[in-house]
Structure formats: C-alpha cells, structure tokens
Amino acid sequence: MRIAVIGASNPGYANTGMLTVDLAAAGVLTRIDPSCALSWYTLHPPDEVESGHRYVNPSELPFDWLPLIEHFDEVCNHDAILLWGDFLQARHYFAEDAHARQTHRSRSPLPVERTLESLYRCLLFSDAPLSVLNKVIVFGSSILFNRQADYSADRYGEHLVRLLRNCRGVWAREPVSAAKIQHLTQDYTSMPLGTDSAFLLREEDITRLSTTSWLTLPFADHIGFFFGARTRPPWALFQFLRQLTRQLGLQLEWLPWFPVHDWLQAVPRSWWRHPARTAYILNSQRKIDQLMRRGPNYSAGDLLAAIKRYRFIVTDTYHLCVNAWRVGTPAICFGDPEESPVQQTLNDYKKRVLYEMYDAGDFHFSTCAVRSAAGRTRALEKVRRITTDGSIAAAITERIHAHARHVEHALAERVCGLVRT
C-alpha cells in the first residue's frame, strides 16, 4: 500500500513538538501496515531555507520530505492520502503562516490570491476529482479559529466543505473543531472528534533517536521548565517559580524544547541598538544559562526521554504539554487570554481547549494568576495540591491514553478499508 503523508512545515526541525507529530504518523502507519510504502510531503521541507538544528540527526528519522506543491500530482496517485495534524485546513493558516513562508521561499512578494489558490489545491484538494478525495483522510486537524467570514471571503468555504463531505474520514484535533465540522457538513449523526496527533506517539516509535550523556544528571527532584517561545512571560513568573521550588524542595531546570538559547546568540545586530531589546536579550540569556545545567549539547532523543523523568513541567508551549501528558508527566500550562498574536496558530486559546477536553483544567493557569502577591499565593497552593496528589494527574493521563487507543483503532480500520476497496 502506498500512502502519502502531508504534514506541517518544520523549518530546520526546530520545533520538537511538530517532530513528535510526524514521528507519530510513521509509528501509527507502520503499526497499521508494516509493509506500507510511505511518502512524505510538506509545503516547505525542513532543510529548504535553513540547515537542520544540531539536536536532530536526519539519518535517524523515518521520513524524507518532498515539497508538496511541486509534487501534488504525485500525491494524488497514492492509494491513501493522510492530511496529518496541525491547522492545515484552517483559512488563517493559509493567509498568515503559509503565505508568509511562500513569500520568504520565493524571495519576492507574492499576491495573496495566487498563494491561496495554490494552497487550496494542495491542502483542500480544490480541483481534485472525487476519486482522489475518496482516498483522503484528515486526522488531527484544527479549524478552532475559523470564523463565518472565512467561509465567504473567497471559495475557501466551498472547497473545505467539499473535502470534508467526500473524504474517507475526518478526526478533528479538539471538540470545538469537531462541532464546526458537523455544522459545515450538516452531518450530526457522528462526532468527528479525534485527538492531537502527537498523543498517538509511542515509546517504540522513538527508539531510533539516539541519546547522549546529557541525560546522566539526576531528574528525580527536578521541574522541567520552558517558557517564552509562545507566551510573553509575566514579570512575576520567576518569583513564583522560586517560591514554588522552595516550598516543594525541588530544583528548576531549563528544558530546551526550542533552541531559544541558540536564537538569542544569533539575533540581528540591529536589535542591539535598542536599549530595551538589549536588556531583554541579556536578561533572557542569563536566566537560561543559570537554569541550563546540563549544557547545550543534547539530542532530540534526550529531550523526549527527559520529559518523562521530571516531577512535572512548567511551560507555555502546547506540544510540550501534549508530550508531557502522553508519557504521564503533569504539565503546568500557562496561557495569556489577552494576547492577540499576528498568527492565529499561536493563539493561547488552543491550550485552554486542550486542557478542558481532558478535564485537566486544574493544570492550566492564566498569566494573570501570578501577577499579584495574593494570586501567587493561591496559585502556589493549587500547584502544591495537584502535584502532590498523584491520583489527579494519573486519571488525566489514563483518560488521554484511552482516547488515543480508541482513535488509533478507528483510524486503522479506515486506512485498512482503503485497501479492501
């Protein structure tokens, strides 16, 4: 069986979370059919515009990415086509993220209309015959931030509905997207609810990833901490964390989920001309250096092995939360309900929806919660309660695992059905 997997772009493999999403696809499809031939497509292959980050060894990865737009006709000739994860069917993804990257790739401005037409063709199969749509499976996709205006702005709504009504199966990443899909298709007889694709990743799927001596230092009394790549840290965050570690007798440690330490050393020279930016960069470098006790020489395998060894994790990053809960490590997640990012894919609301989906709301905190002394006291009491009572996190983890097993089984049946037909 020849299966085409279409994934989100991950330039330089800098995004560890998206790497786990793709590794999950390889693991799931290999379990479904060990003899299947997988082909991998994305709008922008990891090495297209920048070299791979040093923590990833491409030879250890089970995929060899091809540019989707140039190879779309080839995609359509596969036995099954899997649109895998992320916001790949959301209009804001096309108009914001994908258009910006296409412009960067071409090194010249591109008309939005021209870009959207190309993206609709490759990610919504806008001009593909029904025989191709019938081979498409949409899994782990989110249209959480779609609005009614998106469907009438151009032919996006028409193309999306056609895909959803004629594809072989749809599993949305979260319940809000699932409800929106029901309304779009006017099919209320089934609930197209899936889960985040990374929840389907298993330990056997990452055995090819090497580990290093970075893992040799103890983890037992450590809290993993990564913050600032997605949400602006509240000014009192470190004060809160110092109080937390002191009360619990634990140590805080920087978990380099994104290579922020590398980025801070490579900021444009123009930034140093602004005193406020200079102060922020130097302060961030100092704090990370203090907390990065294991040093900067780690591998992707180290990061994925580390998350299951911490007592718990504190972060603002969606897929670090997903992967922590996947391996049974509680994740204290911070979000800012007042932020309005330029790119909706970075909107913090998606983290709140994830946590409410699995009754994990106790572990989700607004950045407002630690801005006042009284708020920090309440937050400290809550964190101490939910992290010392192991039964709370255990119930959430089991709920996630049970759902992931069920969804993977349903996906396997649908993929196998394509072989039989």
pLDDT at 421: 63
Q: Which of 312, 357, 352, 304 is nearest to 332 (CA)?
A: 312
Cβ neighbours of residue 368 under 8 Å, at least 6 residues apart? 234, 336, 337, 338, 375
- d(CA 302, CA 253) in angstroms, rounded, equals 14
Number of alpha carbons in the 13 Å side-chain half-sphere of residue 138: 30
Task: Compute the distance between CA of residue 282 and CA of residue 318 in angstroms, rounded to an integer.
Answer: 26
What angle do helix axes 99-106 and 112-123 make, rounded to 10 degrees?
Answer: 110
Measured CA to CA, the distance from residue 367 to residue 344 in angstroms comes to: 19
How far apart, in whole angstroms, are the C-alpha atoms of residue 102 and residue 117? 12
Whether 41 and 7 have beta carbons less than 8 Å apart is answered as yes
- Give the CA distances from residue 410 to residues 38, 396, 413, in Å, rounded to whole numbers and listed in that order: 20, 21, 5
**pLDDT tens for residues 119-165?**
999 999 999 999 999 999 999 999 999 999 999 989 999 999 999 99
> What domains does the chain contain, in order, with CATH numbers?
2-204+402-420 (3.40.50), 210-388 (3.40.50)
239 CB-near residues (< 8 Å, 6+ apart): 370, 376
Per-residue pLDDT of the chain (421 residues; tens, 9 = 90+): 999 999 999 999 999 999 999 999 999 999 999 999 999 999 999 988 667 789 999 999 999 999 999 999 999 999 999 999 999 999 999 988 887 777 766 666 667 788 899 999 999 999 999 999 999 999 999 999 999 999 998 999 999 999 999 999 999 999 999 999 999 999 999 999 999 999 999 999 999 999 999 999 999 999 999 998 888 888 899 999 999 999 999 999 999 999 988 888 877 878 788 888 788 788 888 899 999 999 999 999 999 999 999 999 999 999 999 999 999 999 999 999 887 777 788 889 999 999 999 999 999 999 999 999 999 999 999 999 999 999 999 999 999 999 999 999 999 999 998 876 6
DSSP 46-96: TTSSSPPPTT--GGGSS--EEETGGGHHHHHTSSEEEEESTTTT-HHIIII
Let me know: does 310 contact 219? Beta carbons within 8 Å: yes
The pair of three-digit structure tokens given for residue 114, joined into one six-digit string:
């021209």
**Order of strands across the sheet that contains 2-6:** 65-67, 37-42, 2-6, 80-84, 136-141, 169-172
The position carrying tokens 């979000």 is 335
Cα–Cα–Cα angle for 379, 384, 373, rounded to 5 degrees:
30
For residue 216, how many other CB atoms are within 10 A of its CB?
Answer: 8
Rounded-to-integer distance, Cα 388 and Cα 84, Å: 36
Return the structure tokens found at 143: 């249209």
